[in-house]
Amino acid sequence: MDKPRHILRPGARPAPPKEKPAAVISAQPIPAPAIVAASVAAQGQLLDCFAAVPRGAEELAGAELGALGITGAQPGKGGVVFRTDRSGLYRANLWLRTASRVLVQLATFPCATPAELYAGVHDIAWQELITPEMTLAVDCSLRDSALTHSGFVALKTKDAIVDRIREACGRRPNVDTALPDVRINVHLHKNVCTLSLDSSGESLDRRGYRLERNEAPLRETLAAAVVALTGWDGSIPLADPMCGSGTIPVEAALMAARIPPGLQRRFGFQRWLDFDAQLWDSICAEAEAGIRKLPVGLITGYDLDAKALLLAGRNTGKAGLEGQIHFFHAALQDFHPEGDRGVVILNPPYGIRLGEEDDLRELYCQIGDIMKKRCRGWTGYVLTGNLELAKYIGLKASRRYVLYNGAIECRLLKYDLY
């Protein structure tokens, strides 16, 4: 077997991406054991990547990659496979609104026993990626495989990595699960192991603008997916009458103002040995130059809860959108949108706790009434995890999208309001 080469060789400028569709990870032919890193390097520094995406938003993430000029992205269940160069990897992390992390695949190999796992991981020249002074962490996910204990697989993977580095350097790196320099992802599916570097580090839904959490905030990636599914393009008003901490208005505003969701945060790849600071600075500078101010009244949010609105205001400021979203302390029952066109998005309470559903039926009836009577000409969307309650809206949805809020299966229901 060829000696595995460093896929992210320090200083090496990547070649422009070729328009070759990336293979779906689980459908790849698996040589035994295959170090994918070596073949990627030979093809001109193209990286096989996987963007993990909340279920239901895979096509959106594929379209986002297309908009970044990354062609051939293949959406699958829970993520998108794509191939790009280092610049594309940085831009994907900075710009993807619907993805939770971007993994760079190092190797795949058959793996049904602890010995196969250890050997496959040990085969990689980890000393080229991690020095003894750096820290590492291993994340693990398993599906339909002979090895069933994720803690054990993560530990065995870590052992093989540090052993390889100790053999090469005489010393081993330490583990830091909170803020490691390099985060490694090991995924077992049907006895095939895929080893990846996590280029994002902290999950991408941590944009950096949310300082405190209210009771039931939407995940930022899901809020971005909701806005994208509405097709809203910033040319007509967008209102969220139950905005809570403002996740939907903030994500909509970031899109309309062309602010990359990751502009305020740091990424895993910035701690890698091959981090190209000059390239990264130029990507950020280009993004910053494209930011625009939003017109007054374009995006509005309302809520009954004054505390949640306080958070919404703080999040807006922290997101670099000070004064560009207008929040009102008002009940849905007083919602009267201005203008004859717009998009209204509601994320009402689901009533997860016992007894809450009774109170919420009335609220869902009112949502239907208010959309029908006061939002003529607008398009309405309701995101809910409770399909029983959704029936009380009493209007016929023209489209239904399935999305997941963590483990909760939700529907985004579309209403054409004539």
Ligand X SMILES: C[S@@+](CC[C@H](N)C(=O)[O-])C[C@H]1O[C@@H](n2cnc3c(N)ncnc32)[C@H](O)[C@@H]1O
Task: Report, in Å, the least distance between residue 31 CB and ligand X.
Answer: 46
Phi and psi at 120, nearest 5°, equal -65, -40
Q: Are 334 and 304 in contact (CB under 8 A)?
A: no
Asked if residue 272 lies in contact with residue 200, where contact means CB atoms within 8 angstroms, the answer is no
Nearer to ligand X, 38 or 383 (CB): 383
Least CB distance from residue 201 to ligand X, whole Å? 23
Interaction of residue 98 with ligand X, rule CB under 6 A: no
Nearest distance in Å: CB 164, ligand X:
44
Interface with ligand X (CB under 6 A), residue from 115, 146, 331, 402: 331
Sole window of 38-46, 193-201, 297-305, 371-379 interacting with ligand X (rule: CB under 6 A)? 297-305
Q: Tokens 């944009």 belong to which residue?
A: 207
The single residue among 244, 268, 337, 368 that binds ligand X, judged by CB under 6 A, is 244
Beta strand 299-303 pairing with 192-198 = unpaired
User: Residue 56 interacts with ligand X (CB under 6 A)?
Assistant: no
Segment contacting ligand X by CB under 6 A, of 85-93, 189-197, 280-288, 302-310: 302-310
With H, G, I as helix, E, B as strand and everything else as coil, classify residue 379: strand
CB of 54 to ligand X, least distance (A): 14
Determine which residue in the list 75, 180, 349, 368 makes contact with ligand X, applying CB under 6 A: 349
Strands (E), 92-191: 101-110, 135-143, 174-175, 182-189
Is 205 a residue that touches ligand X (CB under 6 A)?
no
Asked if 332 touches ligand X (CB under 6 A), the answer is: yes
Q: What CA dihedral angle connects 268, 269, 275 and 279, to 10 degrees? A: -120
Q: Check binding of 242 to ligand X (CB under 6 A).
A: yes
413 contacts 382 by C-beta, under 8 angstroms:
yes
Whether 332 and 373 have beta carbons less than 8 Å apart is answered as: no
Distance CA 96, CA 60 (A): 10
Tell me the site size for ligand X, rule CB under 6 A: 20
Instruction: Quote the CA–CA distance of 170 and 163 in Å, as a whole number.
Output: 10
**Contact pick of 259, 299, 308, 410 for ligand X (by CB under 6 A):** 308
Q: Which residues here bind ligand X, judged by CB under 6 A?
A: 214, 216-218, 242-245, 247-248, 303-305, 308, 331-332, 347-349, 363
